[in-house]
A = this chain, B = another copy of it.
């Protein structure tokens, strides 16, 4: 390696320049895009018509089937895990979780395991001096509204190494080999820890100056346009919301209730005091779940089912296939309580343990649950703040929409996302909760394993609300 490290007699080093660690102009460009409600390519009010047209052109037929009809998938001998014959994609296995930091809790459940890191990438480009983002109208079999706005690219490693036997993932090269000078965001973020075992994806925004050929199922939109669409039900898909949470907006507020050091210290304390351990077990051995012909379900009918579907048509990489999916038994709820402190908006974050997280807890919405799972319980046993959210009058709802979770893994998984004004809520919340500003949460999305998927969706929605009400962030 001596030639690499060089010596005084070696050739002169390449010209180099130190640059500022933060590109402040970048944040201005994000704010301009968020303040631009009129895009260069398609009017916001025409996006839904375009999606409807694409839906007709790429109609997908999804039907439940018995597990026995899963031709490329099988229950593995011994473990009973559900796996693809190729060994690729994902498996459905079992997980044993133990929480031992208060009253000991222990449970077993099915879980999706997919150890490879996928790419969720949005391509950005300036038109008329304003950044636009290339969104794809993409169909996913599990979504109630199957065709939604997705990132430019959402690809598992299996996708882009062509395990599907299908077409190339379009535009993937911008993300597999990104131009270092044009990366806007690039971070590994977790997926749902209740359904996935330690899954994370690479969330990326990369700019280009290249000419990108127009395609029927792609449209360039400003952040302001996407903000409008985030107020619609089932239009912006989960992966897009996750990436949009990572847009590097500037913090224009004078500060926060807790300094960054204080917020991180609180979080470190939560991670330290929680004793959550999870490990994989054979699916066949999972206690408390019934294995049927068409579903693996909880004995009391709670939480979710593992089911199988066949899929035909659509614009997926291959023409038809079947696969297992996870189907929640009820609609989810994810809500931030919000309030202003000295005029600065804050949200109440919860340090939430989910069995599939890589590291104990992540920051979650104030309330995140399937209310139906708790309907039978007395108020004292229901999640903190659930009733405060359910009972909030419309006048205190600052944001509300129903969004779908990932339709490639989940069937009919929808959650109501809410921001509920709690103007007089205590500034000294109970253990496990802390007030943080959206800007603090945005700063944390530069790093993985801080905000969980649901918190990232809500952060993207809060960004959207700010863009709409103030003409920019």
Contacts and interface: CB of A to CB of B under 8 A. Distances in A.
A212 to B, nearest CB: 21
Interface stretch (A77-85, A300-308, A380-388, A408-416): A380-388
Interface in A152-188: 178, 180-181, 183-188
Nearest to A17: B342
A277 B117 CA distance: 13
A193 to B, nearest CB: 15
Interface in A216-244: none
B188 A342 contact: no
A90 to B, nearest CB: 15
A42 interface: no
A277 B115 contact: yes
Nearest to A274: B117
A114 to B, nearest CB: 13
A359 B190 CA distance: 12
A21 B251 contact: yes
Interface of A: 1-2, 4-8, 10, 13-14, 16-23, 26, 115-117, 119, 178, 180-181, 183-188, 202, 248, 251, 253-262, 264-266, 268-269, 271-272, 275, 277, 337, 341-344, 358-359, 384-388, 391, 422-430, 439-440, 446-448
A277 B358 CA distance: 13
A384 B1 contact: yes
Contacts of A271: 117, 188
A256 B202 contact: no
Given A16-B427, A202-B268, A342-B17, A6 B422 contact: yes
B446 A342 contact: no
Nearest to A386: B1
Contacts of A447: 264, 447
Given A265-B183, A391-B2, A424-B7, A117 B272 contact: yes
A268 B19 contact: no
B19 A259 contact: yes
Nearest to A427: B16
A285 B323 CA distance: 37
B188 A257 contact: no
B391 A4 contact: no
A13 B424 contact: yes
Given A21-B251, A447-B447, A262 B183 contact: yes
Nearest to A450: B447
A72 to B, nearest CB: 23
List the 9 closest A-B pairs by CB distance, nearest first. A6-B424, A186-B265, A18-B342, A5-B388, A18-B255, A183-B265, A117-B272, A20-B255, A21-B260
